[in-house]
Amino acid sequence: MGTPVNQPAPWPWPDSLDALVAAPAYHTLLLENERVRVISTHIPPGATVPLHTHRWSAVAYLLRWSDFVRRDQQGNVLLDSRQSGAPPQVPAVQWLPPLPPHTVENLGPAEIHLFIVELKDM
């Protein structure tokens, strides 16, 4: 029997990989209720955020930008912002799907700062 139509598939990764648990030095909880979770993310220049996940789709409000590389749990490059065209004009808003285990390395000279509004009931 399949997953009901309006119910997401079970999240396959452990809660220990949640961004707030696995990488608390980079993620700060600002608000959480049954529908949303709002996280402030700061990644200093040269830092690599440890392996973590983001369970829900989200709206990301980007305040400060720097080039970065996102890698999967095996170290394979998932996204290199230097290959994605011109950097966004900040502030900027982006849609993010749920993200499986990944790291983020800030390659640029500036801190990356964004607010992530995760939508729990999507």
pLDDT of residue 9: 72
Query: Which CATH code fits 17-119?
Result: 2.60.120.10
Q: What's the pLDDT tens digit per position in 93-122?
A: 999 999 999 999 999 999 999 999 999 986
Report CA 15 to chain centroid distance, whole Å. 15
Mean pLDDT of 53-73: 97
| pLDDT > 60? residue 6 | no
Cα torsion at 98, 100, 101, 107 (round to 10°)? -60
CA distance linking residue 104 with residue 122, whole number of Å: 25
pLDDT of residue 45: 98
Task: Residue 113: name the closest of 50, 41, 39, 31 by CA.
Answer: 41
Q: What's the pLDDT tens digit per position in 7-49?
A: 567 899 999 999 999 999 999 999 999 999 999 999 999 999 9
